[in-house]
Structure 1
Amino acid sequence: MRLFTTGCTGFIGHALVPALEAAGHELILATRHPDRARRLSPTAQVVEADTRQPGPGQAHVATAKGVINLAGEPIAEQRWTDEHKTLIQQSRVATTRNLVEAVTAADSGPQVLVSGSAVGYYGASKTGEYSEVSPGGADFLARVCQEWEAATRPCQSSSTLTTD
């Protein structure tokens, strides 16, 4: 299957890309770090793109049968200034909105969207236990996760299967 991926050079993507290739998938890697992506997968098509912004990278979405969205600014590598919090939010929410726009606009494009989220959806707690039906939290990461998941909703009403 031809797959369009974001976040391919991150923590999960770094392991997922080789596994997908080993399973015989053809990959399009959208990244701000093309050299890293090429080292990770010399056979994949690498598209240099800032997925937070609409742009030429979106055209590649229509050529894929599936989209895997793992994009997200790292949350543990630096202090959360207001500027960094904006990057955390935009790298997840704006990227997802741009991908969903491209998926829903494609006539015969992707049939599946797999979009990352995080346990941060539920907020922070030392003793809480959560399940898929638990309400979302109210802290910064919880709000980001809720916006991130909400950005996939247009695909849920189309013929594309969405997994959060």
Structure 2
Amino acid sequence: MKSEWKAVYKVIPDERDLIEDTLKQMCDQERCCLVVTTGGTGPAPRDVTPEATEAVCDRMMPGYGEQMRAISLKHVPTAVLSRQTAGLRGKSLIMNLPGKPKAIRETIDEVFASVPACVQLLEGPYLETNDAVVKAFRPAGLIRSSKPAAP
């Protein structure tokens, strides 16, 4: 079975109010189960994405930021400057990724393994992955059988 989904893209400037409003719109109106931001996670004065994310989330998911930094530290010592984070707003998972394409690829490939289980626990859709790219990890209670239900 294929996971049905539609990508929604937004490109906005690094302005906290605009980031907060856009995150709310994507979670509340667009009903995105996963919202991924890129950039704005460093120590520069304009880097306000983590603060905007924290402001709109009901609960934070610090494990994602910890894992992303650990992955990046394998590649660059400046990963300690990153303030990547993730949080939950309603039934949406919001993840702040780094801004550089190489760093995005390095972190998302490894971190994404847990995203389908998180989305499922939030009562979102059952996300399937291409195992050749990333194999989703699900605890036994979250694995859906591929066999059709008995009549």
Q: Tell me the TM-score normalized by structure 1.
A: 0.33
TM-score by length of 2: 0.34
